[in-house]
Amino acid sequence: MSRAAARTEALRPLAAADAPGLCQRFEGASAEAVLEAVLTDPRFGRVALVSSFGAESAVLLHLVARIDRSVPVLLVDTGKLFPETLAYAEALAAHLDLRDLRHVRPEAEQLAGQDPTGLRWSYDPDGCCAIRKVAPLEAALAGFDLSISGRKRHQAHTRARLALFEPDGARLKLNPLAGWTREMLAAHMAHHALPPHPLVAAGYASIGCSPCTSPVLPGEDPRAGRWRGWDKTECGIHGRGSEPAF
């Protein structure tokens, strides 16, 4: 490759097709190092953090806040979240001094047409997630080149092969905590005195919408309380990358 071509390549904006190469480049790097690169290298473009403000969300929010407090943080506010989650999001964002918390909500018109009773979760949870989570988030991410997600491999067998970088349509998705264990997360929370989600103490190990989340019993998978009784393990917002769609 000529010097001019190498220079052009070095300045080229990064896109979904670069995911495998980025996984190689950052293999063995810490979550902090990867986040630092993504949040400071202009080739990654416009970056947003997607957070559920759930049981373990404080760790990633804290890591990002230490690098850039102005990063847009998207909370998919389905209209079915626990009031505790909404209050926690405000309190945690203030605690970490995150300055751009955005509530991503479904369109009122779409809800009126496709979930007029608000009970679609009870007979068609996939359809409910599509209306209340997938469509609003897709619209909100249209203006970004890369999203950061807090998923980890240990959370479920469906996430066991989660890559550090993955394609998400034309965008890149970064999973900086992919390799973190439950113990690492707990240690980070304790070391930095990060406030826990108030429902964790009540036995909620993974926290989503109120109608579809229940506490887990000792020894159960942390996500066993999500869509309990349904053959469903994911909401669909992570279904287009290297991970299988559910």
CA-based torsion, 67, 72, 76, 82: positive or negative? positive
Nearest residue (CB) to ligand SF4, 115 versus 145: 115
**Pairing between β-strand 171-174 and β-strand 165-168 as defined by DSSP bridges:** antiparallel
137, 140, 162, 235: which one binds ligand SF4 (CB under 6 A): 235
Nearest residue (CB) to ligand SF4, 78 versus 155: 78
Site map 95..134 versus ligand SF4, x via CB under 6 A: --------------------------x---x--xx--xx-
Residues with Cβ within 8 Å of 15's Cβ and at least 6 positions away in sequence, in order, are 145, 170, 171, 172
Rounded CA-CA distance 1/233 in Å is: 46
Nearest residue (CB) to ligand SF4, 100 versus 126: 126
Q: Can residue 80 be called a binding residue for ligand SF4 (CB under 6 A)?
A: yes
How many residues belong to the site for ligand SF4 (CB under 6 A)?
Answer: 13
Q: Can residue 208 be called a binding residue for ligand SF4 (CB under 6 A)?
A: yes
What part of residues 26-45 is at the interface with ligand SF4 (CB under 6 A)?
A: none
- Cross-strand pairs, 50: 74
Residues with Cβ within 8 Å of 38's Cβ and at least 6 positions away in sequence, in order, are 44, 47, 146, 148, 174
Closest approach of ligand SF4 to the CB of residue 241, in Å: 19
Coil vs helix vs strand at 8: helix
Is 235 one of the annotated active-site residues of the chain?
A: yes
Closest approach of ligand SF4 to the CB of residue 110, in Å: 12
* Length of the chain in terms of residues written: 246
Closest approach of ligand SF4 to the CB of residue 54, in Å: 12
The residue with its CB nearest to ligand SF4 is 209
Coil vs helix vs strand at 168: strand
Closest approach of ligand SF4 to the CB of residue 209, in Å: 3
Q: Can residue 209 be called a binding residue for ligand SF4 (CB under 6 A)?
A: yes
CA-based torsion, 81, 85, 87, 93: positive or negative? negative
Nearest residue (CB) to ligand SF4, 54 versus 125: 125
CA-based torsion, 230, 232, 233, 238: positive or negative? negative
For tokens 């080149």, what's the residue?
Answer: 145
Q: Please give the residue ranges that form the binding site for ligand SF4 (CB under 6 A).
A: 78, 80, 121, 125, 128-129, 132-133, 208-209, 211-212, 235
Task: Give catalytic residues, as residue numbers.
Answer: 235
